Structures are given as C-alpha cells and as structure tokens.
Amino acid sequence: MVLETNGRVCYNTGIEETERDMERTKIGVFDSGLGGLTVLNEICRYNDGLDIIYFGDTARVPYGSRSPETIARYAEQDVRFLLAQGVEAIVIACGTVSATCIDLLRSRYRIPILGVIEPAASEAVRMTKTGHIGVLGTKATVQSGAYAKEIGRVSEGKRVTGVACPLFVPLIENGFVEDDPITLLTVERYLAPIRNTDIDTLILGCTHYPFLTNAIGAFLPGVRLLNIGTALAQKLSHAIPLQKNDAPSDVAYYVSDDDASFRSIANARLDAIPAGVVQKINIESY
C-alpha cells in the first residue's frame, strides 16, 4: 500500500463511477488521528464493495486528554465534514468519542452512527471465561465508564477494570510502536497492576492500541486481546444497512494536518486498506 499526499483518489476498477456509486453505500469513518485506520483496516477486511471517506484529525490529536465539551465540539465538526462528502452512515473509529458523546451525535444528526463500544462489549462478554474484563483506554474513556455500563447492559455479573493509558496515543502518533524501549517501559508501567489478576479478556479500548498488540500481549501472556475494530467490522452490516457490490472497497483519505506518521505507520502496519491519496482539509471551517 502506498499513501501519497497530493491529488485525487482514483481507482481503475473497470466499473463506471456513476454505476458504482448507485450500487454502493458511502460511509464516513473518523478518528482523532491514525488510530482509526485500524478500524478502517478491519472494515475493508470484512466488507467489500463500499465507498468510504476516512478523516483523521491529525491536527488535534489526542482527543482523550480534552474536556467532554471540547471532544463533542471536535466530533461535531468531524461529522459535519463527512456529511458534506455525502456519506449515508458514519462509523466513529474513536474510543473517546464513542464513550463520551455518541448519544449527542445521534440526537443531532439523522443518519446511522455506529461507535466502537457496543460491538466490543458484546464480544468481550462472549469471550470471557472468568467474567473479569479489562479495558485499556484514554483518560476520557475510562472516566466515562462507558464500557462498564455497556457490558453490564449486555450481561449481569461481569467485573470490569479500566486502565487509563494516556501516553500510548502520542507514542504511536510519533512512531514509537511495538519494540521501542520507551514504549515497552510504558506498557509495563500501565499494565503492571493488572498482570497478576484474573482478567482473561482485555479490550483495546482506543483504536490506536492495536498498534501495540504484540507489546501488550507479551506483557500479559494468556490474556485474550480484543481489537475493537474487528468487533465493529464483523457487526457493521447488522448495525447499518449496507448496499454493496463485488468490487473492492474504495477509500478517500483526509487529514487536518499533513502528518508523515499517518502514511508511514499505515504503510508498515496495516494490510487490508486500499492505497489512496491523503488530502489535507481545514476542519475548523465545518
């Protein structure tokens, strides 16, 4: 996969644009940065035949350390940008937004909006044997208690332990992933308190965190890690009416700041998202 920085996304699929657009649902996907690409990767892995607009708010990442009011304002601007591109449904590929303001967005915008928490909670309940589920997330996500509430709604009697990992997102956004010594020390610092517990299922509650799957898994051997992007992608067609065809999904990429990490990490770490042009937009105008 090669992500470029200028020009327009163009694919030679052998299908006329007008015919293809009539047959395919256009969905919007957004995140505070490159973490949402892990969700996009899984959507493309499990769902062919879609037109996708991806927006990464690279100028204002991370969202997880902001106030709820600021997160909501950013999220509404992201939604308005995607609506301006003609999307018919929106996937919030951001754990923080899903945890703090998805109800607000659903009340204000009459379009199907799917977050990462509901599908992840259902899958975690299915996976756990001990009944003790861990959640790694940003400060805003953990403080919201959104995962514990949703898991409790799905199944009574489950224990949920949240661990805030605020340094993970800036480390990943700056390319410090997996085997970097600083990242490994940070993983140890955050996860040491839950290492010798009966947690058997761990939700990677921020879409950036799958970039650290190997490091987290090595520190917590035997614990099953749940990629919230995979859980969402597998339930997407059940949650949102999708009109698809047999052609590969097309993706147009937009960011709010030109970030080399967005391209380089996606290029190196993700395997299912299509190549495309990355265009910079002024999100503050929405």
If we measure between CA atoms, which residue out of 73, 30, 28, 23 comes closest to residue 52?
Answer: 28
CB 167 within 8 A of CB 209: no
Which residues carry out catalysis? 94, 206
Q: What are phi and psi of 60, to 5 degrees?
A: -125, 15
If we measure between CA atoms, which residue out of 164, 43, 28, 47 comes closest to residue 95?
Answer: 164
CB neighbourhood size of 238 (10 A):
10
* Angle, CA of 230, 187 and 99, to the nearest 5°: 45
Token reading at 271? 């395997």
In the chain the beta strands, taken as DSSP E runs, fall at 3-4, 26-31, 51-56, 89-92, 113-114, 132-137, 159-164, 201-204, 224-227, 250-255, 276-280
Distance between CA atoms of residues 60 and 31, nearest Å: 10
Distance between CA atoms of residues 57 and 280, nearest Å: 10
DSSP 130: S
Distance between CA atoms of residues 113 and 29, nearest Å: 10
Distance between CA atoms of residues 179 and 196, nearest Å: 23
DSSP 114: E
